[in-house]
Structure 1
C-alpha cells in the first residue's frame, strides 16, 4: 500500500517495506505474514477490519518503560528492534471497525533460540496486565512444568522491579504480580496444577509449546479465552521434532492461514526459520531464523555451533531445530562410520590382562543377540580407551537367521566374534561362565546391567563376587555416555580393534533426542541390532565418573 507524503513511516513500517522490496531477508512465512498485512490494509475493511496506528504505537511505546534484566543488556532500556516493532505493530494495530476491539486472539511465534522470545513475551504480558484497559485482567504464563512457566513470569517480575513507573503501579508477591486496588493479576501456571478450571483469561503466554505433551493444557487455555472480549493467547516456541504434537498442529494451521487455505482473522503468526530449500551451511540464510543476528545473537556463536554440527552428526538436528528453527525428525543417524573405522587400532586381549575395566551387559530376548562389553579406561602410560566386546547367540537355526536378516552370523561365528550357545534360546549360564572367565583375566570393577530380563543372572553374578550396578536406559542415564562415546570416536581416543559385529551395530544406531537436546540410542528406531553399543554406553557411563583405582606396586602390564 502506498504511504502518503504527509504521514512519516514508523520503524515498523520501514521494516515492512524492506521485506516487501527484498532489502531485508526473512523466512518465506514471515514474508507471507507481512504480505497478508499489506493486503488487509487494502481490503480488510470489506471484512469489518481497520488498522489503528495509534493503538499499535501505544504498545511499542509501552516497551520504553521496560528494562532488560540479564546479560549484556541488563539495566538498559528495552528498545524494540525493527523486526520486533513490525511484529508488535501488526499484532496490536488491527481492530474490528465497529468495536475497536483487538482483531487477533491468537498469536503463534516460532523463533530460534537466543532471539529474545521470552523477553518480548514478558513485555506483552505486562502490557496486557497494566495498560490494555481490561478490568480485573488475569494474565498467566503457561507451560507443562511450573519452572518453565516461571521463565517468562520471572523476566516480567524483574522488569517491574527495574522500572519506577511500573513499580509504582504493580506489586509483587510470591509468584504473583498484581495491581493494587484491582483484581488484575499475573502468575505462572502449569499443567501439573491441581485444577485448571475456572480460569478467566485476558492474556496467556504459552511458553515452549514444542515441549508440551498432549493437548489438554492447550485446549483448556483456548476454552478459557472465550470469557473475555479481546483476550490473547500468545504462544512462543522454537521448532520441535514431534510432528504429531499440538505445537506442529499450530505450525501447520499457521501455514494454511497464510496460504489463504483457511480464513481466520483472529490468527496471527510469525514463523522465522530456514525455508525448505535453504542450505543450512550458508550463513546468509541464518538471519531468516535469527532476526536478532548481530545484536542478541552473535555470528561467531552460530559459527561455532555449526562447526560442531558438521563434525558431530548427533548434534546436527539440535542445531537445525534450536538455532535455525527447522522442524526435524526426533531420530537421527548417529555414528560417522569413517571416523569409527579410524579407531581400528590393533591390540591383543592379552595386552590388557590385569587392567581395570568396566563391563556393560545388555541382555536381549532369549532368541536374539546379547552383548557383554568390557571397557578399559586410560592409564598414565596409555591414553586410549580399549573395547573388548563379546556377543552371544543361540546356535540353532543360525543359517536361517543369515538368510532372514542378511547378516553374516555364520562368518562371525567362524571368526570367533560370536559365541553360540546350544539350543534355540540363549543359555544365560554360558554368559555367566564367560563373565567369570574374564574376571580371572581382567580386573572387572563393576558390571552394569539393564534390569529388564537380567534379574536372575545379575543376582548370580553378584553371588560370584562381581559388583553389579543397575543402569537405566532413559535420557538421564544415557545422555552423557552417548555424547561421550561419539567424542572419543571423533578424537580417535577409542580403540575397538575392528570387531565386525560391534561395527555393524555402530552403523545401525539411531539416537533419540528429547526437547532439551539430550540423546540416547533408540532400539525401536534403529534399523538393526545395537546391543553392543548400548552395553558400551552403559560401561562408559560408569567409567567416566569413577575414580581410578590405584595400581598396586609391582604390577606390570604386558
Structure 2
C-alpha cells in the first residue's frame, strides 16, 4: 500500500525481493502447487514468488502462503470452496477508498501492494460448502509503517457496507473508547475523501451508517460498558498486543455466534510482554496451525518477523518483518534506528519489537552506563553554576525511602551542555537497613557527601524544604516540577517561599518527551553530572513503561532498584522544555492512556 513516503527505490526493492526483482509469471514452474486448470490471479504473483523463493520471508510467512496453496489442492476433501470472484470484489473495493493524508496522496485512490492483495484474497476468498465464511478469526502480525491502519479501515468499511450482510454491525475495538476512536477515525476520513463512499455512508458522532439499513460501523472500548446486546459481523482490532487481558476479545467473539460470515480481524506488532496475553495466545495458536500441530480451518493469518537464527543487525533480513520494504519502509530509516538500538538498550527493545516484529521482555534496562559515564568527562564545581538559570524536579519518597531533589541547568552563555546537580536524602535510622536492602553503599555515600541523612526514622521534609530554599538563594530556579504524592505540605511551603511549583502527574503526557530528551542528551554526550554515584546507580536501574504510540517513561514498579534521581531529572527537564515551547499533549487533554 502506497503511503506518503512515495514509491519504492531500486536498492530497497531488490532487497525486498531477496536480490531478484522478477516475479514468477505463471504456475508452469511450480508443478503441483495449484490444481490442474487453475487460472492464475493477480495476487498469485506474490504467492508464487514466495513459494519460488523470490521474495525473502520468514518461515511463518512461507508456511502461511503454503497453507493457502495446499488448501487449493485439498479444498473438496475439507469441505471448502475457493471463491476468487469474492476475493477480487474486496480488492476492487479498495479502489474506491482514498488516502486521507500525506503530501501528494491525500484524496488519491489506495493502491494495494502484492502482499496485501494476497492476504486480503486469502482471508475473503475462502468459504465453507454451507456458504459461511471460512476464516472467522484472522491474526496478522507485521512491523510498524507497513500500512496496517489504512488496511484495517478499508476492511472494516467493506464488512460494514459491501459484504451483503443484513444489519451488519462492525466495531473498531480497543481497550479504551478514546483509543478506539483514534483508530476508527481512519475509516471516517477515508469516507470523507471518497465521493462514492460519501454518497453511500453517513457519519454522525463517530458512527458510520447507511440510510435505510441497520448497518453500523462504530468504535468500541472495553471501558464504554456498551458490550451487552452486540451482534457482531465484523470486529477490527488494532495492536492486539496492547490489550491487558482477554475480556474485550471474548465479548466480541461470543457476540457473533448467529452470524455465518462474521470476522474477527486483528493486526498487531509484537509486544514487550512474553508472559500470558490474549495476543500471544492467538499468535501461538496460529503458529501451531501453520506447523501442523493443530487443525482449525476457521482460523487464519500470517506473521512477518525474523527467523530465530537471523542476526537483527543484518539489514538483508529486515524485509522479512517489513513486506512494504522499499515502499513505506526504507532502508535508511531502519539503519538509523538500528544504530540507535546498538547504542542504547531502550532503543534496542523498541527497534526489535516495532521495526522487526520480535517479541521481547519489558524489563530491559534503559540507559547504557558506558554512555552515562561520558557525562563525567567535565568536572565542575557548584560555584560554576551559581546564579545560572535552572529548573528543579522533586521526587519525594515514602517516609522511609530515598528522596531526590534535582536541578538541571540548560545550555546558556554559549555552552552546549546541560548540567545536573542532584541532592539525595534518606532517614538516618534506616540507612543501614536501606544499604542492606538496596545492596549499595549508603554509608559511604553519606560520608562522601553524596547523600544527606536526615534525623530519625522517616524522611525529614523540613530539611528537604530548607535545602531547596537554600538552593533557590544560590541558583536562579525558574520552576520546580513535582510528583504530588506525599508532597502536599512541602509544595505549599515552597510556594510560600516564592518558588514556582508545578504539579506533574506521572503519566506519558508529562514524562515521555523529557524521557526521550534525556536519552538523547546522554547519547549525544551533552549532559554533565560529575559522575554522581547515587544518580549513576539510579540511571542503571531504569526500565521503561511504553504505550502503543511509542511513548515511554520510567517504570518504578518494574525497575530493578531505586530510580528517584532519574525521575526527578526528567521532571526538571519537563519544566525546562515546557518553559521554552509550552504545549498540551493528547494525554493532558484526556485522550489516550
Partner of 2:7: none
Question: Which residue of structure 2 aligns with residue 530 of structure 1?
Answer: 563
Q: Partners in 1 of 2:326 and 2:191 — Cα distance?
A: 27
Which residue in the other structure is 1:385 paired with?
Answer: 418
Partner of 1:100: 131
Residue range with higher mean Cα deviation, 263-272 or 252-261: 252-261
Answering whether residue 310 of structure 2 is matched by residue 278 of structure 1, we say yes
Is residue 2:270 matched to residue 1:239? yes
Task: After TM superposition, give the deviation of residue 485 of structure 1 in Å.
Answer: 1.4
Aligned to 1:90: 122
Hey, what's the Cα distance between the residues in 2 that align with 1:13 and 1:195? 42
Aligned mates of 1:145, 1:73 — CA distance in 2: 30
In the alignment, the residues of structure 1 paired with residue 163 and residue 266 of structure 2 have an alpha-carbon distance, to the nearest angstrom, of: 18
Question: Equivalent residue for 1:493?
Answer: 526
| More displaced stretch, 144-153 vs 129-138 | 144-153
Q: Which residue is equivalent to 2:373?
A: 341
1:189 aligns to 2:220 (yes or no): yes
The reply to whether residue 435 of structure 1 matches residue 468 of structure 2 is yes
One of 285, 288, 301 as aligned partner of 1:253: 285
Counterpart-to-counterpart distance in 2, 1:154 and 1:464: 48
- Pairwise CA distance, 1:19: 1.7
Which residue does 1:25 correspond to in 2?
56
Could you tell me how far apart the structure 2 residues matched to 1:364 and 1:164 are?
Answer: 59
The TM-score, its normalising length taken from structure 2, stands at 0.84
Q: Indicate how the Cα distance of structure 1 residues 544 and 149 shifts in structure 2: closer, same or farther if over 3 A, else same.
A: closer
CA distance in 1, matches of 2:117, 2:432: 69
CA distance in 2, matches of 1:486, 1:106: 40
Q: Is the Cα–Cα contact under 8 Å of residues 331 and 512 in structure 1 kept in the other structure?
A: no
Q: Deviations over 1:373-392 (max 9, x none)?
A: 22223222433222222222
Between the aligned partners of 1:81 and 1:305, the Cα distance in structure 2 is 25
Is contact 1:129-1:139 (8 Å) kept? yes
The answer to whether structure 1 residue 304 and structure 2 residue 336 are counterparts is yes
Structure 1: which 5+ runs fail to align? 549-558
- Per-residue CA deviation, residues 41-70 of structure 1 (Å, 9 max, x unaligned), is 333433322333333333334434444443
Q: In the TM superposition, what whole-angstrom CA distance separates every residue of 1:120-161 from its partner, at most 9, and x where no partner exists? A: 223323333344332333333333344544456544455555
Quote the Cα distance in structure 1 between the aligned partners of 2:439 and 2:205. 63
Is 2:231 the counterpart of 1:200?
A: yes
- Cα offset for 1:372? 1.8
- Kept after mapping to 2: 8 A contact 1:148/1:207: no
SS at match of 1:340: helix
2:28 alignment partner in structure 1 = none
- Partner residue in 1 for 2:346: 314
- Deviation track 1:81-136 (CA, whole Å, cap 9, x = no partner) reads 22122212221222223x23221111111222221222222332333334433233
Contact in 1 for aligned 2:159/2:234 (Cα 8 Å) = yes
Q: Does 1:263 align with 2:288?
A: no
SS of the residue aligned with 1:396?
A: helix
Give the structure-1-normalised TM-score.
Answer: 0.89
> Counterpart of 1:553?
none
Residue aligned with 2:61, SS: helix
Give 1:291 shift.
Answer: 0.7
Give yes or no for the alignment of 1:212 onto 2:268.
Answer: no
Alignment check: 8 A CA contact 2:136 2:261 kept: yes
**Do the aligned partners of residues 265 and 389 (structure 1) sit closer, same or farther apart at CA in structure 2, a change above 3 Å counting?**
same
Cα pair distance change 1:399/1:259, threshold 3 Å: same
Matches within 5 A, 1:347-496: 347-396=380-429, 398-399=431-432, 401-496=434-529
Match of 1:110 among 141, 144, 157: 141
Task: Output the CA distance in 2 between the equivalents of 1:207 and 1:270.
Answer: 15
Q: Is the 8 A contact 2:135 2:263 kept in 1?
A: yes
| Of 431-440 and 196-205, the range deviating more from structure 2 | 431-440
Q: Deviations over 1:418-450 (max 9, x none)?
A: 222333333333323333333332233333322
3-state SS of 2:535 partner: helix
Residue in structure 2 matching 1:291, options 302, 323, 327 = 323
Question: Which position in structure 2 is the counterpart of 1:518?
Answer: 551
Q: Determine the C-alpha separation between the residues in 2 that align with 1:517 and 1:357.
A: 29
For residues 482 and 175 of structure 1, do their structure 2 counterparts lie closer, same or farther at Cα, with a shift above 3 Å needed?
closer
Distance 2:563 2:255 in 1: 47
> Would the aligned equivalents of 1:110 and 1:271 in 2 still touch at CA under 8 Å?
yes
Matching residue of 1:222: 253
Contact 1:62/1:127, CA 8 A, preserved across alignment: yes
Change (3 A) 1:232 1:529: same
Instruction: Find the counterpart in structure 1 of residue 27 from structure 2.
Output: none
CA distance in 2, matches of 1:441, 1:315: 37
For 1:21 and 1:427, the matched residues in 2 are separated by 72
Q: Distance between the aligned counterparts of 1:175 and 1:227, measured in 2?
A: 26
> Kindly tell me: are residues 438 and 160 of structure 1, through their superposed partners in 2, closer, same or farther at Cα, counting changes over 3 Å?
closer
- Is there any run of 5+ residues in structure 2 with no aligned partner, and where? 1-31, 582-593
Tell whether the 8 Å contact from 2:33 to 2:69 is kept in structure 1 after alignment: no
**Bigger Rg, structure 1 or 2:** 1
**CA deviation string 1:340-398 (max 9, x = no partner):** 21111111112222223222222223333222222223222433222222222233364
Q: 1:38 to 1:386 in 2, by over 3 A?
A: same
Contact between 2:306 and 2:358, CA under 8 Å: does it hold in 1? Answer: yes
Once the two structures are TM-superposed, the CA of residue 165 in structure 1 deviates from its matched residue by 5.4
Cα contact 1:55–1:92 (8 A) shared by 2: yes
CA distance in 2, matches of 1:240, 1:12: 30
